Amino acid sequence: MTPHRLDLSVLSERPAYAEMPRRRVLRAYLEEARGEVLRYLRSPGFLLPTILFPVVFYVMFGILMGGKRGGLDIAAYLLASYTSFGVMAPGLFGFGVSLALERDNGLLVLKRALPMPPAAYLLGKMAMAMVVAAAIVSLLLLLATQAAGVVLSAAQVARLFAVGVLGVLPFSAMGLLLGTLVRGQGAPALINMLYLPMAFLSGLWFPLKGTLLDIAWIWPSYHLNQLAQDAVGMPSRGATVAHVLALGGFALGFLLLAARRLRRHG
């Protein structure tokens, strides 16, 4: 009698998975973005300080103490500066603090287990940061043109709006990296230790001179501010393309480092 041979070839075959329809993939991205935006809109502890901080500063220094000094239009200069300062926060805090907290409470692990595209989590937070940045730029433009007497063409308004909304992305990548370095309780302190000094050293409070100007290029906020200053017609240093490439390089570098940290440490 011939012994029955067990066929084990099935073990070497990969199971067939049904590919998710494109419509469901797109819907997953949209729902994740919608959920992130709504979550932060319902969080006044994050939303109000993020939006009101640059607005209040602009009212104090751009409107009440504006004017021209040494040929410099203070209101226009500070419109660009506080646009740069304002859009840094949604990226740094929206990504950095939330990621650190979500790593602590296990939400990030749950997100990975859900049947959703891996990039949906990242793109959802990017959408949130861009929506908040758009609100900040809109409020500053409204104050500058209606209360501070800043005259801008439609093209300048559109360009500054684009700089602000897209300029949040390098700081989102930086926030993502910072969120992988510390736990939830330590994230706000670490980000504040970088946020305010970086703004100061990038010329967001006053024009830089001497050594501070020579080393300012190492900060992404400096390149963003130069694009914003150029958008409103103020003097800027360097070519536009160079600043755009610098911000793209910062974003890519921070993103790659953050992805490496997440793969190793979760």
Q: What is the DSSP string of 170-204?
A: HHHHHHHHHHHHS-GGGHHHHHHHHHHHHHHHTTS
Total domains present in the chain? 1
Residue 221, C-beta contacts closer than 8 angstroms, at least 6 positions apart = 84, 85, 88, 171, 198, 199, 202, 204
| pLDDT surpassing 70 at residue 1 | no
| pLDDT surpassing 70 at residue 237 | yes
What is the span of the domain harbouring residue 235? Answer: 22-265
Type of residue found at 261? R
Please give the residue that has the higher pLDDT: either 182 or 219.
Answer: 219
| pLDDT surpassing 70 at residue 110 | no
Query: Is 13 part of a structural domain of the chain?
Result: no
Query: Is 36 part of a structural domain of the chain?
Result: yes
Dist CA 79 CA 167 (whole Å):
15
Residue 204, C-beta contacts closer than 8 angstroms, at least 6 positions apart = 81, 82, 84, 85, 221, 225
Supply the pLDDT for residue 19: 63
